[in-house]
A = this chain, B = another copy of it.
Amino acid sequence: MSKPYVLGIDMGGTNTVFGIVDARGNVIATSSIKTGKHDKFEDYLDELHASVTQMLEANDATGKIHGIGVGAPNANYYTGNIEHAPNLPWKGILPMAEMMKDKFGIPVVITNDANAAALGEMTYGAARGLRNFVMITLGTGVGSGIVINGQLVYGHDGFAGELGHTIMRRNNGRLCGCGRTGCLEAYCSATGVARTAREFLELRNDESRLRDIPIDSITSKDVYDAAVLGDKLANEIFEYTGNILGEAFADFTVFSSPEAIILFGGLAKSGELLMRPLRESMEKNMMGVFKGKVKILLSELKEADAAVLGASALGWEAGSKTVAPQA
């Protein structure tokens, strides 16, 4: 075909990574720019355009891009806008899809980063062939992308799939970045794990390797490293985290009865430290009719490529997008 590639753009708070991807999911080339360098969104787009153009020329891909897919925080698939993203330097509503299309002359589709990850997994990863699954990204926050009947769930307004903000603790719940308390994200993100570590260390007196680290600088990686070495308190932090995740997954199941829940992100690489308590808790909390039915899978995409691949999967949709919001 004359346009055998798509461009995937992963716009994060720190870096914007982009790559040329072919129909088989091979990442032909990638590059990146700093997201936060420019005060004006227009200047950011100028640099992105220049950098992408250079990459296309260097890879003989100019004029061969079928569409552009963008994964970005608070990106709305329906409107093409990035709306009030707390982690980006530009406030308010950014008409990302329209401005990029004008600049690049190529159709653009955008969605939030977790939805992009779900699409990537469905197209190239652990969810190939699955028509009903939930993608959970365990990073700085807890993101989600929900697929039902083979389609991403965008909901009425384009913002569906905020499972990290399901309330897991209704009394004395931890303050969440969303302004409410008790959200899943406040417990089971990488930062949530670090908060659990601080809580445990302050409330308890037992020995732990984690006491050698200044309490305010403890990360989920520190907890992982200590747990692997057999540290009891660190292991209990993973029990605690897995337990809440399992409770949440049992509730997600009564909603959409997914075939699998797929984990992605730094914390998902904790292996059995997290997976054993998670599976046990999920099955213990599961409604009878769903017991033993829901698989927990790990992402099969290389982390370095996953975001770009996920966004690129949207690029194939671009130009043929017909979905509109139901306002």
Contacts and interface: CB of A to CB of B under 8 A. Distances in A.
Given A155-B132, A250-B167, A293-B156, A146 B326 contact: no
Given A247-B170, A250-B167, A326-B131, A159 B257 contact: yes
* Copies held by the complex: 2
B293 A167 contact: no
A256 B155 contact: yes
A254 interface: yes
Contacts of A170: 168-170, 247
Contacts of A247: 167, 170
A148 interface: yes
Given A252-B255, A259-B326, A285 B167 contact: yes
A288 B178 contact: yes
A158 B162 CA distance: 24
A258 interface: yes
A179 to B, nearest CB: 6
A166 to B, nearest CB: 5
Given A163-B255, A247-B170, A156 B132 contact: yes
Interface in A169-184: 169-170, 178-180
A53 to B, nearest CB: 34
A290 B131 contact: no
Given A166-B251, A252-B255, 11 more contacts: A132-B156, A132-B326, A153-B256, A157-B257, A161-B254, A161-B257, A162-B289, A168-B170, A170-B170, A170-B247, A251-B251
27 contacts: A83-B289, A132-B155, A146-B255, A148-B148, A155-B258, A156-B257, A156-B258, A157-B290, A157-B293, A159-B257, A160-B255, A160-B256, A160-B257, A161-B254, A161-B257, A162-B254, A162-B289, A163-B254, A163-B255, A166-B251, A166-B255, A167-B247, A167-B251, A178-B287, A180-B287, A255-B255, A259-B326
Interface of A: 83, 130-132, 146, 148-149, 151, 153-163, 165-170, 178-180, 247, 250-252, 254-259, 285, 287-290, 293, 326
